[in-house]
Amino acid sequence: MQKSDSKTVAGKTISKWIDEVPVIADIMDKRETVWLNTDLLPFEEAILKSELQKKDIKDASDRLRRFASYLKRVFPETAENDGIIESPFCAIPKMKEALEEKYGEKINGELLIKLDSHLAVSGSIKARGGIYEVLCVAERIAMREGGLKETDDYAILADEKYKKIFSKYSIAVGSTGNLGLSIGIMSAKLGFRVTVHMSADARQWKKDMLRSKGVIVKEYENDYSVAVENGRREAENDEFCHFVDDENSKTLFLGYSVAAERLKRQFDEAGIAINKENPLYVYLPCGVGGGPGGVAFGLKMQFGDNVHCFFAEPTESCCMMLGMATGKHNEISVNDFGVENKTIADGLAVGRASGFVGKQMLSFMDGCYSVSDERMSALLKMIADTENIKLEPSALAGMFGPVSLSKKLGKLPRGYHLVWATGGSMVPSDEYKKYYEQGEKVIDNGNI
């Protein structure tokens, strides 16, 4: 570990930081770790302090319902769900058995998975927030310039009249990949001009797919934050351009949060009751924080103190753990501590967390934990072999949660353990094969 006393980060030397926040030593050594949040509050207290409230989620939910007929018209694959973009959940008993056997920790209760990997339109959790924010922009413009009313059938937004209105406007976003896909596909479909500013580590197939849909893709050699900054600056000088701000957008956050009321309905239909005796533990892969934070916020609204939410991050990029544990949120980055933020989990390759999400969720989250790239690779192979579910590496960060938590606590609390699988169905099969083979190699090497 590098301990430099000359360099300071957010006003303190690194060794002082480690003294005060011991988990930083694990972060610097890129060791898998669990951080339990001592700022967690009982739900009734947390919600009093929360800027966002239930009515904000309802507003988002209602808006998505208004757009359902439009989505059904332009994305026929959403028709079977009546234009509501939602994923199923299911139990994964064979994976549970495999995890227990391999890692020697008992998973007390049922292991469930939420398949956002298979969400319609863009195949990742970004189909929630990303699409929602674009729809918000479209609705505003359509009301102002096209006379759209809330009571109209929104399918008319696919008419030439509205496409022509939208074509005067543009949308821009900086992205590690999946947000770009989601914003790009939705914006182009509505008729907006759309630019996605991408970091160099973004996958080629994502850039190709976007370009094939008429999206302008600009690439940057540096990492994600540089792509975001450039996007933001370009948009600032253009009053007809809306910049989707992944780090600070409450709109994105609320789009994600609607997932919870839908999950509650799915649980009701499946006869699953969440209560004190049967609490819900949720493991959410976290990049900048908006997706998992929004979902967790919604879940707390639905289940209160009976749900326990954890952010899952790569050991190379545990920016949310660092931000929450230090209380410095977006004023601090993993790079400040000599961690490079290089991971195969491209949806999670973020070195600096959203300050808005970190602060908003500090009273609601049970904790954060980290997983190595090797771990995600191994789990990717395991879930394909046991349950025949194909996921991208990022989506596997959640899967190790029950094992990590069991190790940390000595025993896993009984309940439903829900792994949020955040992406994967759009990954081309040759790319997926490489991920799978990587997992095979890691497992054959025997140390994971």
CB closer to ligand PLP out of 177 and 402: 177
Q: Does 286 bind ligand PLP (CB under 6 A)?
A: yes
Q: Does 348 bind ligand PLP (CB under 6 A)?
A: yes
- What is the token pair recorded at 417? 């353990």
Q: Does 210 bind ligand PLP (CB under 6 A)?
A: no
| Distance from the first to the final alpha carbon of the chain | 22
CB closer to ligand PLP out of 274 and 349: 349
Q: Does 368 bind ligand PLP (CB under 6 A)?
A: no
CB closer to ligand PLP out of 279 and 289: 289
Min dist CB 65 to ligand PLP, Å, is 23
Q: Phi/psi at 278 (nearest 5 deg)? A: -125, 75
- What is the token pair recorded at 28? 């610097």
Return the SS3 of 284.
Answer: strand
According to CB under 6 A, which one of 73, 114, 126, 250 is a site residue for ligand PLP?
126
CB closer to ligand PLP out of 184 and 290: 290
According to CB under 6 A, which one of 83, 180, 279, 287 is a site residue for ligand PLP?
287
68/262 Cα distance (integer angstroms) = 15
What does each C-alpha distance from 154 to 57, 63, 421 come to in angstroms?
20, 10, 31
CB closer to ligand PLP out of 306 and 372: 372
88/54 Cα distance (integer angstroms) = 23
DSSP states of 353-391: --HHHHHHHTTT--EEEEE-HHHHHHHHHHHHHHH----
Please, which residues have CB within 8 angstroms of residue 216's CB and are 6 or more apart in sequence?
193, 194, 195, 196
According to CB under 6 A, which one of 180, 191, 255, 291 is a site residue for ligand PLP?
291
- Stretch in the footprint of ligand PLP (CB under 6 A) among 34-42, 232-240, 284-292, 297-305: 284-292
CB closer to ligand PLP out of 181 and 412: 181
Min dist CB 173 to ligand PLP, Å, is 12
Return the SS3 of 86.
Answer: coil
CB closer to ligand PLP out of 170 and 176: 176
Q: Does 109 bind ligand PLP (CB under 6 A)?
A: no
Find how far residue 159's CA is from the centre of its chain: 32
Q: Does 130 bind ligand PLP (CB under 6 A)?
A: no
- Stretch in the footprint of ligand PLP (CB under 6 A) among 62-70, 118-126, 296-304, 427-435: 118-126
394/178 Cα distance (integer angstroms) = 11
According to CB under 6 A, which one of 290, 298, 367, 439 is a site residue for ligand PLP?
290
Which helix (H) or strand (E) element contains residue 304?
A: none
Tell me the β-bridge partners of 280. 307, 416
Q: How many CB atoms lie within 10 A of CB 273?
A: 11
CB closer to ligand PLP out of 285 and 401: 285
According to CB under 6 A, which one of 28, 46, 111, 125 is a site residue for ligand PLP?
125
Min dist CB 409 to ligand PLP, Å, is 25
Min dist CB 300 to ligand PLP, Å, is 17
Min dist CB 225 to ligand PLP, Å, is 13
Residues 370-429 within binding reach of ligand PLP (CB under 6 A): 392, 394-395, 422-423
Return the SS3 of 124.
Answer: strand
CB closer to ligand PLP out of 109 and 367: 367
CB closer to ligand PLP out of 288 and 368: 288
Return the SS3 of 110.
Answer: strand
**Nearest to residue 228, comparing CAs of 252, 241, 210, 245?**
245
Q: Does 178 bind ligand PLP (CB under 6 A)?
A: yes
Q: How many CB atoms lie within 10 A of CB 277?
A: 9
According to CB under 6 A, which one of 83, 109, 292, 358 is a site residue for ligand PLP?
292
Give the dihedral of Cα atoms 31, 34, 39, 44; nearest 10 deg: 150
Total of chain residues touching ligand PLP, rule CB under 6 A: 20
CB closer to ligand PLP out of 99 and 284: 284
CB closer to ligand PLP out of 142 and 196: 196
Residues 248-277 within binding reach of ligand PLP (CB under 6 A): none
Min dist CB 304 to ligand PLP, Å, is 23
What 3 state SS string does 187-255 have? HHHHCCEEEEEEECCCCHHHHHHHHHCCCEEEEECCCHHHHHHHHHHHHHCCCCEEEECCCCCHHHHHH
According to CB under 6 A, which one of 127, 228, 288, 405 is a site residue for ligand PLP?
288
360/326 Cα distance (integer angstroms) = 15
Which residues of the chain form contacts with ligand PLP (CB under 6 A)? 124-126, 178-179, 285-292, 347-348, 392, 394-395, 422-423
